[in-house]
């Protein structure tokens, strides 16, 4: 079914691409993750808006939802947005967009993958083993990419491998998503929003628990069995508050939340990063943000061996991560209270980030759009 939908989409796209000329000032943003564009796409859009004179096209997951009330939107996606995408001068993506595999862009169109994560941690893209069909589709989609943006020179070869492109097309211009963290006004606003909603947490040290989503539902259930929030809270004492952010697909049982504040529904995860003092995670790339901001992360990896079988890492896990690795709640509590290992964090940060500033979206806009080369 999906294959058929993609094929129809590609057909409509290709007809438009043949018939119509590219509009250099039309810029498409394709976001299969979220609709709020509070990520790299949004930052690049802002950089373009500052200059002015662009027309934007937005494509989100909602456009592809198969629901009855969604019919008009889906029709527009197929018949209007396919043409707009085909005639865009620039297309920015933040994830794989599989319908693209059959789409043949005109050569004047620049297609840029911004990706939704920074640095390297878990293997991703073509670096992981996949079923043949998926892989073939991904390779075909990646052929449409003019450039992939990454966050440092060191990670260029990894991004080149993950997207099956040459090194010179993986541009280390920095992550536009992290620009947000370096604008003072955002941090102020984040604090304001957060404490307005959780006034009781004011003055406490905030520890965020954000585990990674596992593909296997059984494994997902285990996460909350292992994470005893109440115990952790007790061990840490009154000075601390534990926040919990689960993957939207993990339904927490009421009991699992005891002792922690559930912030799963909190809209902008960047605000949580901004207000929290420390992170507990296992394999989530959110640790990149904490490292970038010189904040502590404790890696509570009770199922490391099992996870590794499923999704390997680029480097030795314990050696590479910017914090201590724990397997029990007691260890985790101790690690949270211990002093920050600045050296280990710095090494990780230096490797993954060339820029600690708010200008990456500008760099991308300048390099790709304003300072265009033929």
Partner 1 sequence: MPKVSVIIPAYNSEQFIGETLDCLVRQTLDDIEAVIINDGSTDSTQSIIDSYSDKYPWIKSYYQENAGVSAARNNGLTKATGKYVVFLDADDTYSDTSLEAFYKAGEAHDADIVLGRLATFGDGIKGEYSKVADRLAEKDEIDPFDIDLIWKFLVGNKCYNRERLVASGVEFPLFRYCEEGAFFMSYVYSGVKKLCGTMDACMFYRRHTKKQGLSVSQTVNIGLVRSFTDSLNMIYDGAKKALEKAPDSVDKETYLQEIVYKHTHILIMQFYRLMWHGDDECAEFCSKEFKRLRALMTPERYNKFKNAENDLHLDTIAQSKEEAAQKPNATFIIKNTDECEKILATVYEQYCPLFEVIIPKSAAGKIPPEYLAMQNLVVLDDKGFLKNAKKKARSRNRVVLRKPKTLDVRVIRLLYKLGLPAKLKTAFYPLLFRLMNFVLVKKIIK
CB of 153 to partner 1, least distance (A): 10
The pairs formed by 252-255 with CB atoms below 8 angstroms and a separation of 24 or more are 252/224, 253/224
Residue closer to partner 1, measured from CB, 331 or 366: 366
Q: What are phi and psi of 3, to 5 degrees?
A: -60, -40
Question: Which lies closer to partner 1 via its Cβ, residue 47 or residue 64?
Answer: 47
Helix, strand, or coil here: 129? coil
Does position 359 interact with partner 1 (CB under 8 A)? The reply is yes
Residue 145 CB-density burial (10 A; 0-12 exposed, 13-18 middle, 19+ buried): buried
The window from 32-40, 294-302, 330-338, 358-366 that contacts partner 1 (CB under 8 A) reads 358-366
Residue closer to partner 1 (CB basis): 153 or 342: 153
Residues in contact with partner 1, counted by CB under 8 A, come to a total of 9
Between 265 and 371, CB nearer to partner 1: 371
Question: Which is nearer to partner 1, 335 or 368 (by Cβ)?
Answer: 368
21: three-class secondary structure by DSSP? coil
Q: What is the DSSP string of 208-239?
A: EE-PPPPSSHHHHHHHHHH--HHHHHHHH-TT
Q: Which residue, among 24, 38, 45, has the nearest Cα to 92 in the 3D structure?
A: 45
| 3-state class percentages of the chain: helix first, strand second, coil last, to nearest 5 | 50, 15, 35
CB-nearer residue toward partner 1: 303 or 366: 366
Least CB distance from residue 366 to partner 1, whole Å?
Answer: 4
Q: Which is nearer to partner 1, 67 or 373 (CB)?
A: 373
- Does 23 engage in binding with partner 1 (CB under 8 A)? no
CB-count burial class (<10 Å; 0-12, 13-18, 19+) for 241: buried
Which range binds partner 1 by CB under 8 A, 17-25, 110-118, 131-139, 361-369? Answer: 361-369
- Interaction of residue 367 with partner 1, rule CB under 8 A: yes
Binding segment for partner 1 among 23-31, 276-284, 295-303, 360-368 (CB under 8 A)?
360-368
Q: In what order do the strands lie in the sheet with 23-31?
A: 55-60, 23-31, 88-93, 110-113, 147-149, 170-171
* Identity of the residue, 187 or 365, whose beta carbon is nearer to partner 1 in the bound complex: 365
Q: What is the C-alpha separation between 113 and 30, in angstroms, rounded?
A: 10
Least distance to partner 1, CB of residue 125, Å: 26
* Alpha-carbon gap, residue 291 to 322, rounded angstroms: 7
Kindly give the residue spans of alpha helices, DSSP state H, lying in 109-202. Answer: 132-142, 156-163, 184-197
Q: Which stretch binds partner 1 (CB under 8 A): 15-23, 27-35, 256-264, 363-371?
A: 363-371
For 88, 169, 362, the CA distances from 96, given in Å and listed in that order, are: 18, 17, 23
In the complex, the smallest distance separating the C-beta of residue 50 from partner 1, rounded to whole angstroms, is 9
140 near partner 1, rule: CB under 8 A: no
Instruction: Decide: is 366 part of the binding site for partner 1 (CB under 8 A).
Output: yes
- Least distance in angstroms from the C-beta of 357 to partner 1: 7
**Contacting partner 1 (CB under 8 A), which of 17, 77, 362, 369?**
362
- Contact between 363 and partner 1 by CB under 8 A: the answer reads yes
CB contact at 8 A, 203 and 209 = no
Under the binding rule (CB under 8 A), the answer on residue 371 touching partner 1 is yes
Q: Maximum Cα–Cα distance for the chain, whole Å?
A: 67
CB of 360 to partner 1, least distance (A): 9
CB of 139 vs partner 1, minimal distance in Å: 29
**Nearer residue to partner 1 within complex by CB, 58 or 359:** 359
Residue 351 DSSP SS3: helix
- The sign of the CA dihedral 352, 343, 304, 299 is negative
Using CB under 8 A, list all residues that contact partner 1. 357, 359, 362-363, 366-367, 370-371, 373
């Amino acid at each position: 079914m999906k294959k058929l939908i993609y094929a129809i989409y590609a057909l409509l796209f290709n007809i438009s691409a043949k018939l119509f000329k590219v509009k250099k000032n039309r810029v498409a943003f394709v976001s299969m993750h979220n609709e709020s564009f509070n990520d790299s796409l949004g930052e690049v859009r802002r950089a373009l808006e500052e200059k002015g004179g662009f027309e934007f096209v937005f494509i989100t997951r909602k456009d592809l939802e198969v629901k009855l009330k969604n019919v008009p939107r889906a029709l527009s996606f197929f018949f209007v947005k396919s043409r707009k995408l085909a005639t865009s001068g620039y297309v920015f993506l933040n994830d794989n967009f599989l319908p693209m595999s059959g789409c043949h862009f005109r050569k004047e169109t620049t297609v840029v993958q911004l990706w939704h994560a920074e640095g390297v941690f878990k293997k991703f893209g073509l670096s992981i083993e996949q079923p043949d069909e998926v892989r073939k589709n991904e390779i075909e989609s990646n052929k449409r990419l003019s450039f992939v943006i990454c966050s440092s020179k060191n990670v260029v070869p990894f991004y080149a491998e993950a997207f099956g492109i040459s090194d010179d097309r993986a541009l280390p211009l920095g992550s536009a998503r992290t620009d947000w963290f370096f604008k003072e006004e955002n941090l102020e606003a984040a604090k304001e929003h957060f404490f307005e909603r959780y006034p009781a947490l004011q003055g406490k040290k905030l520890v965020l628990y954000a585990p990674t989503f596992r593909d296997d539902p059984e494994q997902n259930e285990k996460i909350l069995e292992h994470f005893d929030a109440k115990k952790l809270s007790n061990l840490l004492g009154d000075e601390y508050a534990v926040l919990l952010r689960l993957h939207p697909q993990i339904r927490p049982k009421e009991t699992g939340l005891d002792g922690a504040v559930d912030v799963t529904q909190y809209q902008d995860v960047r605000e949580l990063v901004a207000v929290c003092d420390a992170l507990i995670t296992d394999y989530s790339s959110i640790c990149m943000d904490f490292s970038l901001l010189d904040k502590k992360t404790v890696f509570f990896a009770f199922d490391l061996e099992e996870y590794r079988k499923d999704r390997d890492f680029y480097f030795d896990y314990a050696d590479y991560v910017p914090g201590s690795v724990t397997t029990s709640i007691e260890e985790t509590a101790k690690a949270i209270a211990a002093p920050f290992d600045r050296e280990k964090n710095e090494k990780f940060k230096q490797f993954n980030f060339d820029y600690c500033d708010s200008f990456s979206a500008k760099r991308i806009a300048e390099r790709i759009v304003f300072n265009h080369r033929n």
